[in-house]
Structure 1
Amino acid sequence: MSRFDVTKTNIAVAQLIEQTVNPRHLYLLQAYNRHRNLEVAGRWEEIFAPDMTVEEPVYNFNTFGRTIRLEGADAIKKVYSEWAGTGECIFYVEDERIAVGDNLICTDFVLYQQTPGAALAAEGIDVDPQATYLMKNRQYMNWPYDDQGRLVGEDVWEVDPSTREYIRLDPSEVLTCAQSAPLLEHLIKPLPARPF
């Protein structure tokens, strides 16, 4: 049995929610918490609800030594769909530090992202393409929000590629969206009424 538990992925977010009294900041944290749980559950379509995400979000990723920019909902939906199909939407977080402002959430954490060996091998990584791995690295993210509290995009950086690790999973440890969705169901709360 794996030491990783998808129900603990947002533990730092939940702790900050408990301590937050500013209504706008609380709302953003609740939206962030919902987004991440929906993603790991493979329920990515719900992320694009009009009260959660702007019509044309922009995502920037800096990993594997290159920068990828996804512009518009269609481009981002395609990636979410692919990740749900391959299980790459399943991730675990440790050592998360998070801060919230009026229009921004910043977070720094150790990420363990479930990744097919074939995808890693395609990047030139020496792994078994038939296996599944947890790709471990430290990441830093900025999530800007508009004045209505909707996600504008994601900026994701791999802090130090030299520390990246690949942890081979036993087939019994590989989690599918069909398995993660019911585990996260009780954590996926509707957004409250916007307090601003």
Structure 2
Amino acid sequence: MILGNPNLDVRKTNRAIDALLEVTTNPRHRFMLEAYHRHRFLEIAGRYEEIFAPDMTVQSPTYHFEVAGNSATLEGRDAVKGFYAVWAQTHQSIFYAEDEQIAVADNFIASVSTMYQQTHGRTLMANGIQVEDENAYYLIRIPGMQMFWPYDDQGRLMGEDVWEPNPAARTLTKLDPSEVLTSEESGRLLAPFIKPLGSFREAMLETA
């Protein structure tokens, strides 16, 4: 927990997914939500390599970002993996979520939330966001952030579309060094919550 906010705990970032799983009975939807849950915690834990297991992500995913001054399209596994690697190495894969609403359909998961990301000052400056100290870490708060994750017919992630609809509502808070969470620390916190993903085929057969 940082800044006195009980929601700013990486272990709580997926609580909206947990709540939806409690009431979801469709086996395909459950598999996708479990994969979504695992992906997000692997990302925050800095364990990005595991995201690209062949049963979780297609061979050539496509990511689109229009968020926090970053406008980018990433095509292919190497480009996406490289992006995650930089985040993990610089401790910028730390996310928190508040007030998240999630919807699941046969081929996509959609999310709207107030999202927070731990971001380095130099990254913000490179994205055109002015900060007082480019060597410090900041907590960027993005109200109403929208994410759309498409999945193929085998329940594998095909990419991400991430959009910040109201940049004027964005806020930044400079973090004290004691409040900065490293990828290693995040990984230790999340390890008990990262569960293996079962077989999509078996999940479908069990309910046939």
Q: What interval of TM-score do these two structures reach, taking the shorter chain for normalisation?
A: over 0.9
- Aligned 8 A contact 2:69 2:128 in 1: no
**Match of 1:140?**
146
Note the C-alpha offset of 1:64.
4.4
Give CA deviations for 1:45-101 in whole Å, capped at 9, x if unaligned. Answer: 000000000000000011245631100000001100000011110110111000000
Work out which of the residue numbers 62, 67, 73 in structure 2 matches 1:63.
67
Work out which of the residue numbers 43, 61, 64 in structure 2 matches 1:39.
43
TM-score (norm 2): 0.91
- Aligned 8 A contact 2:42 2:48 in 1: yes
**Match of 1:154?**
160
**Match of 2:100?**
96
Distance 1:72 1:6 in 2: 28
Partner amino acid, structure 1, of 2:39: H
TM-score (norm 1): 0.96
Work out which of the residue numbers 168, 171, 187 in structure 1 matches 2:174.
168
Range 47-56 or range 61-70, more displaced: 61-70
Distance 1:66 1:125 in 2: 10
Note the C-alpha offset of 1:144.
0.4
Gaps of 5+ in 2: none
The reply on whether 1:115 has 2:119 as its aligned counterpart is yes
Paired residue secondary structure (2:147): strand
**Match of 2:21?**
17
The reply on whether 1:27 has 2:35 as its aligned counterpart is no
Distance 1:120 1:113 in 2: 11
**Match of 1:5?**
9
**Match of 2:110?**
106
Paired residue secondary structure (2:100): strand
Partner amino acid, structure 2, of 1:137: I
**Match of 1:185?**
191
Distance 2:54 2:85 in 1: 19
Tell me the C-alpha RMSD between the 2 structures.
1.2
Partner amino acid, structure 1, of 2:140: M
Distance 1:79 1:86 in 2: 11
Work out which of the residue numbers 132, 135, 146 in structure 2 matches 1:130.
135
The reply on whether 1:83 has 2:87 as its aligned counterpart is yes
Range 28-37 or range 124-133, more displaced: 124-133
